[in-house]
Structure 1
Amino acid sequence: MSTDKAEPRRYVPRGEDFLLLSPTWQAHAYRNVDSMFATRPIRRGQQAFPLKRAAEIAVEYETGGERRGIDDYIYRANVAGLLVLQGDTIRLERYALGLEEHLRWSSMSMIKSLTTTLVGAALQDGAIASLDDAVSLYLPALRDSAYDAVSVRNLITMSSGVDWNEDYTDRNSHVNRYSKSLGDKVPGGVLALMRSVRGLHKPGSQFLYNTGDTYVLGALLSAATGRTLADYMSSKIWSRFGMEFDAFYTLESEGGQEIGGSRAGMALRDFGRFGLFLLHGGVIGGETVLPPNWLDDAGSRVFTLDPSTNSYGADGYGYSWWIDPDGAMVAVGFAGQTLYVNRKANVVIVTLSCQPQPPFAASYDIDIRSERFAFKDAVLDRIREGG
């Protein structure tokens, strides 16, 4: 019999169920990642980058033969947070599903694109000598594994060639074994999993989406820079560019290695500020944080994709950025998280969502991908028109 007093407690789902949650639990879990997993803060600086505010854009789009507006999009696409920046000016900012301005929402795999941006910073610093360096040069623990033949470039382009199963509905898949290790907070558990995977293709020859690759990349960044990933993100971008709130990386275990590829927590406007950092060319206070041409290379189609084969509808993949058919760079995360960065149009769109996942998605008859493209195109049209 328990002797604990019946004090108020907040329930959160088990970490191992994070990718398998019903729509009833998604929003609660995505707002409370730091209660489900071990985390490390990404510290903000003393001053936030000031975002201006202008008239809200009146967005209308058409799907299914019907005209719809902003509220329709939020409701139909299960949107928790929506932000549109035209340069450094907010043109739209909305919250739903319990999300508030100061709350950190799970990045899901959007953090892959942000973590990979730190590879550019490490190259600029000289901490990483070349994208063609072998992974094992920085992570000796992966020598004599499938990653021994893999380069940094292979990691950031999802072409390591290892045999990885990213099936979210299969509890025995690599990605769910990874998720269980995080939930159980096993020290060294994820790296042991990465050592166990076998090589399937020649590194660099084929694109295969692999959350484990970005875990390896985060560990490599920590080893190369001699700093925690959270501290390096803070010192290079987060505190210096002027993010408004502390963020966090999820850890593999208490006090352990950051997870570079999933489950970070950030506030809506700070996702937008990261996109603005890219619109500024990776320059902060006159200092170039990223190498010349880094953003052009990161946003190029290293691999050309069939849009029907990925949840976003991207037709290419660059340096851990999905490429929109219109050429924009997009960070994409599970259940509908997107950070859309259109450098040509000077526009950033952040969407934080709770899109239903299998098996629950089968009863949801809205084509969210088409809805999102129609809304995005309508936003760009209104901005081009000066609306």
Structure 2
Amino acid sequence: MLKPSLLSLALLSCSFSVLALSPPPQSEPYIGTADNLYGLSAQEQAPTYRNMNFLYPTRSVAAGGKPLVLRTSAEELPVSYAVDGKDINTDVFMRRNQVAGLLIMRDGKILVERYAQGNTPDSRWTSFSIAKSISSTLIGAAVADGKIGSLNDEVTRYVPALKGSSYEGVSVGQVLDMSSGVKWNETYRDPKSDRRQMFNAQLAQQPGGIVAVMAGLKRIHPAGSTFNYSTGESYLQAEILKGATGKTSSAYLSEKIWGPLGMQTPAFWQLESPNGTEIASSGFSATLRDYARFGQFILNDGVINGKRVLPQGWVASIADVSPESHLYPGKLYDGEYDLGYHKQWWILPKGDKATAEHGDGAFSAVGIFGQYLYINPAKKTVAVVWSTWPEPEVERSEKETFAYIGAAIKASE
């Protein structure tokens, strides 16, 4: 069973094709190789995470002409939380959890901003599965544009290559909730797993290869009844967007958000093949402050300079999951874990299990090795965390990351 907080890329052991891309900068001598991304040494992790465009084909996401200025506090917010009776401050939190970038922002003002492991304000860091939540936001923008009629529309309306497959009758919303009922095995050391087949298709660098894998899957549950974490379904978001708008995810993100919002730096997104479709489930890279600007856009209900980009109620609906739903916090894995899931975001504990620091309605994008984009509308807080954990999933660091963010919220009140 895979834990929802970092889930599924923990056991990857497949080979990448070595692509003829530009050599990495000489100032970064320890960049790893594409075939060992999930088994990098501690020395290789940070240089590799900020230079993914030298390992894979990517597409640029154009930024705006004038960056949105973020307000900063005159002094850094003092933050501490307790571990085994000892107070842990920001310095110790970062050392204990291999944090490479940290930003806490409340009411649009930066209260904590730190860089480590060679990062600077200009470094672009890989998202891992944070990209899933960025991709679902683009689906919301396409709904607001009228390009996608409704989340109830069938996936095959926008991805004709899935016609006749198990995705017949599955809605766009059910894909966003990873509740299609289609069988998917996210185990990486099994060469026969679905995730490995998706990766093999990506390695082949042939357009349409991943969709072909998805079209070959079988249905095992009624659509909308069961949650099953699927990186393949997250990838389908890029195909849905392309079919609905005629545009790539990078172009649409630039047009709707990255440009109008005033990002400081062009981002880049890993592709299925050279000049192909974005890997909507991973491979997105941006600066620390630009991730925070994106988080503030979500916190602002998807509105930029008075113009609505996301549908009214889209952001509020992310954490608005009925206790009867199979997606409600604590139900995804037989009650063992308290996170819920909706629209490609993880929902923090709600109701009686909600903590005073986080309150109700907080949600987060989460990537392996310790990447977080945390949104708390009630507390008007955005947090961005970059890390180089030694393993894709480190339970102690997961807990401490949310504890640190909660302590920052408490300290800022």
Which among 153, 160, 163 is matched to residue 180 of structure 2? 160
State the match for 1:123 in structure 2.
143
1:149-182 per-position Cα deviation (integer Å, ceiling 9, x unaligned) = 2110111111111211222454543324433443
Q: One-letter code of the match for 2:345?
A: W
Q: Give the distance between the partners of 1:257 and 1:26, measured in 2 at CA.
A: 26
Q: Check conservation: 1:63, 1:374, Cα contact below 8 A.
A: no
Residue type at the aligned position of 1:382: A
Match for residue 251 of structure 1?
Answer: 271
CA 1:102–1:183: 2 relative to 1, 3 Å: farther
Structure 1: how far apart are the matches of 2:387 and 2:189?
Answer: 19
The TM-score with structure 2 as length reference comes to: 0.85
- Of the three residues 182, 185, 195, the one matched with 2:205 is 185
CA distance in 2, matches of 1:353, 1:324: 20
In structure 2, which of residues 370, 389, 396 is the aligned counterpart of residue 355 of structure 1? 389
Which residue number corresponds to residue 206 of structure 1?
226
Report how far residue 377 of structure 1 moved. Answer: 1.7
What fraction of aligned residue pairs are identical, expressed as a percent? 38
Q: Does 1:319 align with 2:343?
A: yes
Matched to 1:21, the amino acid is L
- Structure 1 residues 344, 16: closer, same or farther in 2, change over 3 A? same
**Residue segments in structure 1 that go unaligned for 5+ positions in a row:** 1-6
Q: Structure 2 counterpart of 1:335, which letter? A: F
Equivalents in 1 of 2:25, 2:296: separation in Å?
41
Aligned counterpart, 1:89: 109
CA gap of 1:170–1:306, structure 2 versus 1, over 3 A, is: farther
Which amino acid letter does the alignment assign opposite residue 346 of structure 1? K
SS at match of 1:192: helix
State which of 209, 228, 242 in structure 1 corresponds to 2:262: 242
- 2:42 alignment counterpart: 23
CA distance in 2, matches of 1:356, 1:175: 22
Asked if the contact 1:82/1:352 (under 8 Å) is kept, the reply is yes
Amino acid at match of 2:229: Y
Which has the larger displacement, 291-300 or 168-177? 168-177
Residues of 2 paired with 1:281 and 1:342: CA distance? 12
* 1:383, distance to aligned residue in structure 2 (A): 0.7
Q: Distance in 2 between matches of 1:175 and 1:335?
A: 18
Question: Is the aligned partner of 1:139 residue 2:159?
Answer: yes
Shift of 1:308: 9.5
Q: Which residue number in structure 2 is paired with residue 272 of structure 1?
A: 292
Residues in 2 aligned to 1:185 and 1:175: alpha-carbon distance in whole angstroms: 16
Opposite residue 147 of structure 1, the aligned amino acid is Y
RMSD of aligned residue pairs (Cα, Å): 2.4
Q: Indicate the residue corresponding to 2:59 in structure 1.
A: 40
Structure 1 residue matching 2:100: 3-state secondary structure: strand
Structure with more helix by fraction: 1
Q: How many residues align?
A: 373
- d(CA) in 1 for partners of 2:264 and 2:34? 28
Residue-by-residue CA offset, 1:41-83 (whole Å, 9 max, x unaligned): 1100101111011121001111122111101111111111100
C-alpha contact (below 8 Å) 1:16/1:183 kept by paired residues: no
Following superposition, the deviation at residue 338 of structure 1 comes to: 0.7
Return the alpha-carbon distance in structure 2 between the equivalents of residues 170 and 85 of structure 1.
41
